[in-house]
Amino acid sequence: MAKELLKGNVAFAEAAIRAGCEAYFGYPITPQTEALEHMAKRMPELGRVFLQAESEVAAINMVYGAACAGVRVMSSSSSPGVSLMMEGLSYIAGSEVPAVLVDIMRGGPGLGNIAPSQGDYNQIVKGGGHGDYHPVVLAPASVQELIDFTVEAFDIAEKYLCIVIILADGSLGQMMEPAELPEMKKVRSVKERPNWALTGARDRDPNIITSIYMDPLVEEELNRRLMAKQAKIEANEVRFRELMLDDAEIAVIAFGTSGRVAQSAVKTAREEGIRVGLLRPISLYPYPYERVRQIAGKVKEILVVEMNSGQMLGDVRIGNEGRVPISFYGRQGGVIPLPDEVLEEIRKIQSRINASE
């Protein structure tokens, strides 16, 4: 397919449709509403399910219901709406049904604003809802990645019977870029739905989907099953992109939009002769700890750039295991750091390195 100029929110909605998403439940919230509007138009055209729920609480529970029926289902929202979904997400995780969610993050806490932010990192990456679970979290940095990761999200969710969350921010939802959409995939027939799905107990024993196990030993079995699944996910699903790290003395680590901003700064710094490279984690869970560890063994200092107060910083520290100093540059409140600000941080680190030599 040829490239089209696509707005991020429209792009991921259409990508989901082409990946075989049969049902979408959502609630309007800026800056992701174009996705809901696209679904409202397209899903009925295709004979699929679109429903504007009364709240994000209801939307995620509709997703839960449809997921129990074994169909590809998703929702999308933005930070305050995603907070309301945490209860449902925990139940979906505990019931081990597949579901996809896109969080187009905005400034917070509280009502905050509608500008781009990465303030939901801890909430999304570390679990979010109550209990022991991890959604798989993918962080795109372009409209093309938003498309590609949304398609992949459905496959990962079904492979591991888990939640996959695309963690992007308002700028990715709102910006337009040339990107290529995938071919339209056929929707599964009812007969092709998985054998655990609730489709009516005809010629088989009833299927029960639940997340309550009153006996702690039985609940522990569920927790262990989830842990085993997470171990597989951690072994198979780590993703990242990197740039000019081979001979780098300074490594910048940033995800999503921050990663893109950092990329511009790294390129300019290279033109100035600074040996700096970029690691852009794509899977935030599972986090590329091993790659951070390797990089920390080679560089002299790490710079973490985020659009929050330093949430991924904790994960970089885990991967670094105390090897090299880590500095942090962040903008908060919906402010996108500009490339020249990041460049200035890189220069500061370079002069520290020069001074110590």
Partner 1 sequence: MQTEIIISGFGGQGVLFAGQLLSYAALEKDLHVTWFPSYGPEMRGGTAHCTVIISDDEIGSPVIRNPTAAIVMNLPSLDKYEPLVKTDGVLVVNTSLVDRDPEREDLQIELVPANEIAEELGDKRLANLVMLGALLNHLDVLSIDEVGASLKRHIPAHHRDLLQGNIKAMQRGTALAAGEKLAT
Partner 2 sequence: MAEKEWIETLIYTKSGSLTELGTHYCPGCTHGISHRLIAEVIDEMGIREDTIGIAPVGCAVFAYDYFNMDFAEAAHGRAPAMATGLKRVNPDKIVFTYQGDGDLASIGAAEIMHAAGRGENITVIFINNAIYGMTGGQMAPTTLPGQRTTSTPLGRDIEVHGFPLRMCEILSQLDGSAYVVRRSLHNVANIRRAKKAIRQAFEVQRQGLGFSMVELLSSCPTNWGMSADEALTWIEEHMVEAYPLGDYKVSPSIAVTKKDEGR
Q: Which of 141, 125, 119 is nearest to 240 (CA)?
A: 141
Contact partner, 87, from partner 1, partner 2, none, Cβ < 5-8 Å per class: partner 2
Interatomic CA distance for residues 77 and 347, integer angstroms? 38
Residue 6: strand, helix, or coil: strand
Cβ closest to partner 1, residue 7 vs residue 72: 7
Contact partner, 206, from partner 1, partner 2, none, Cβ < 5-8 Å per class: partner 2
Please, which of residues 72-111 interact with partner 2 by CB under 8 A?
73, 87-88, 91, 95
We find the least distance from the C-beta atom of residue 340 to partner 1, in angstroms, to be: 5
The single residue among 30, 40, 42, 69 that binds partner 2, judged by CB under 8 A, is 69
Q: Phi, psi at residue 176, to the nearest 5°?
A: -115, 140
Residue 192: strand, helix, or coil: helix
Residue 41 within binding range of partner 1, rule CB under 8 A: no
Residue holding tokens 């990962």? 156
- Here's the x/- map for partner 1, 189-208, by CB under 8 A: it reads as --------------------
Residue 40 within binding range of partner 2, rule CB under 8 A: no
Interatomic CA distance for residues 198 and 93, integer angstroms? 17
Contact partner, 339, from partner 2, partner 1, none, Cβ < 5-8 Å per class: partner 1
Please, which of residues 284-343 interact with partner 2 by CB under 8 A?
none
We find the least distance from the C-beta atom of residue 27 to partner 1, in angstroms, to be: 17
Q: Which of 52, 61, 118, 107 is nearest to 80 (CA)?
A: 107
For residue 154, the surrounding DSSP H or E stretch is: helix 143-160
Please, which of residues 158-177 interact with partner 1 by CB under 8 A?
170-171, 174-177
> CB of 56 within 8 A of CB of 77?
yes
Please, which of residues 191-250 interact with partner 2 by CB under 8 A?
198-203, 206-212
Cβ closest to partner 2, residue 72 vs residue 106: 72
Choose the binding region for partner 2 from 56-64, 158-166, 253-261, 275-283 (rule: CB under 8 A).
Answer: 56-64
Residue 260 within binding range of partner 1, rule CB under 8 A: yes
Burial classification of residue 242, based on how many CB atoms lie within 10 Å of its CB (0-12 exposed, 13-18 middle, 19 or more buried): middle
Interatomic CA distance for residues 317 and 296, integer angstroms? 10
Cβ closest to partner 2, residue 55 vs residue 351: 55
b (16+ CB within 10 A) / e for 112-147 = bebbbbbbbbebbbebbbeeebbbbbbbbbbbbbbb
Cβ closest to partner 1, residue 30 vs residue 199: 30
What single-letter amino acid sits at 319?
G
Residue 356 within binding range of partner 2, rule CB under 8 A: no
Cβ closest to partner 2, residue 127 vs residue 259: 127
Name the site residues for partner 1 (rule: CB under 8 A).
Answer: 3-5, 30-31, 114, 170-171, 174-178, 257, 260-265, 267, 336, 338-340
